[in-house]
């Protein structure tokens, strides 16, 4: 029986090797017992154990958010205080009272008086009026007539543009512009007996000029200062324009309230603002006509 079974198996294996690899094994004529011995059944696979359920850890309790303070509404901006602009005031110059002036002593025009070598009246009219006031009335104000403020006007003269023309009688200085126009400035001129006329040219210019009296003048007037530095207290004021080789000049003044008067011994005085304006507009060599 065993030999017989072995032969059958050999035949089957040799004839159907390929089929045996692909097809399921079918053996006929073999008892179940023999088949079970020859082809033991594969052990049944045990089912894989199901994984034990692990509950996820509880989430940590969230910390409570701090309560936010309510946002206050922004306060409206406080407008910046702007002081109102003061109303424009007329130009007023204070005439400073001084003690009575002794004969031979002079005010802001004493330089002009000295260089002429003559003995003029000791005080201009305005200074005499101030000196005559009582102590309680010493601080007086003299408003400069607006007609003497710097302005541009029509001009009918025949002088070339850039020429300076001085109208001593009416107390005006003209800087000819051309096309029938001129700049006009108020001035102070020589008192009676000290006016002059002629044609000069600017020979030198100086800002805040100082003044040193010559030796012959000091010999005649030993009370004079040996030197006066330029500055607000200097009678020549902020600017000076020297006229030729003469002792005359166009200059500023520390007494602006004297503009429009006969106050000097021949020099032409101007308010400091005006003389600075003229100074910047002219040059050395500018022609000056004095009438």
Q: Where are the domains of the chain?
A: 92-290
- For the entire predicted model, the pTM comes to 0.55
Output the pLDDT for position 138: 40
92-290: which CATH topology? L,D-transpeptidase catalytic domain-like (2.40.440)
- Per-residue three-class SS string for the chain: CHHHHHHHHHHHHHHCHHHHHHCCCCCCCCCHHHHHHHCCCCCCCCCCCCCCCCCCCCCCCCCCCCCCCCCCCCCCCCCCCCCCCCCCCCCEEEECCCCCCCCCCCCCCHHHHHHCCCCCCCCCHHHHHHHCCCHHHCCEEEECCHHHCCEEEECCCCCCCCCEEEECCCCEEEEEEECCEEEEEECEEECCCCCCCEEEEEEEEEECCCECCCHHHHHHCCCCCCCECCCCCCCCCCEEEEECCCCCEEECCCCHHHCCCEEECCCEECCHHHHHHHHHHCCCCCEEEEC
Show pLDDT as tens, one digit a residue, over the chain (291 residues): 566 656 666 666 665 555 444 445 555 555 566 656 666 666 666 666 666 666 667 666 655 555 555 545 455 555 555 556 655 554 544 433 333 333 333 445 555 555 555 444 444 444 444 454 444 444 444 678 999 999 999 999 999 999 999 999 999 999 999 999 999 999 999 989 889 999 999 999 999 999 887 787 788 888 888 898 999 989 899 999 999 999 899 999 999 999 999 988 899 999 999 999 999 999 999 999 999
Write out the catalytic residue numbers.
251, 267
């Amino acid at each position: 029986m065993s030999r017989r079974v072995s032969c059958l198996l050999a035949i089957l294996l040799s004839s159907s090797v390929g089929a045996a690899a692909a097809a399921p094994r079918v053996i006929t004529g073999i008892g179940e017992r023999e088949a079970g011995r020859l082809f033991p059944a594969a052990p049944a696979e045990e089912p894989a154990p199901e994984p034990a359920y692990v509950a996820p850890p509880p989430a940590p309790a969230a910390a409570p958010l701090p309560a936010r303070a309510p946002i206050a509404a922004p306060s409206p901006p406080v407008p910046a205080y702007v002081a109102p602009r003061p109303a424009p005031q007329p130009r007023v110059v204070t005439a400073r009272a001084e003690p009575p002036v002794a004969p031979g002593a002079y005010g802001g025009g004493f330089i002009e008086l000295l260089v002429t070598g003559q003995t003029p009246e000791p005080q201009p009219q305005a200074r005499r009026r101030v000196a005559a006031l009582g102590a309680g009335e010493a601080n007086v104000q003299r408003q400069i007539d607006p007609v003497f403020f710097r302005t541009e006007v029509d001009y009918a003269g025949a002088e070339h543009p850039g020429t300076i023309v001085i109208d001593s009688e009416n107390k005006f200085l003209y800087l000819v512009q051309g096309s029938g126009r001129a700049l006009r400035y108020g001035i102070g001129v020589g008192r009676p007996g000290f006016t002059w006329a002629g044609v000069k040219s600017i020979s030198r210019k100086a800002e805040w000029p100082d003044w040193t009296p010559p030796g012959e003048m000091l010999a005649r007037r030993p009370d004079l200062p040996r030197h006066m530095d330029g500055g607000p207290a200097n009678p020549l004021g902020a600017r000076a324009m020297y006229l030729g080789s003469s002792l005359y000049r166009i200059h500023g003044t520390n007494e602006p309230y004297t503009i429009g008067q006969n106050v000097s011994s021949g020099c032409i005085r101007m308010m400091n603002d005006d003389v600075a304006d003229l100074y910047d507009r002219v040059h050395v060599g500018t022609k000056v006509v004095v009438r």
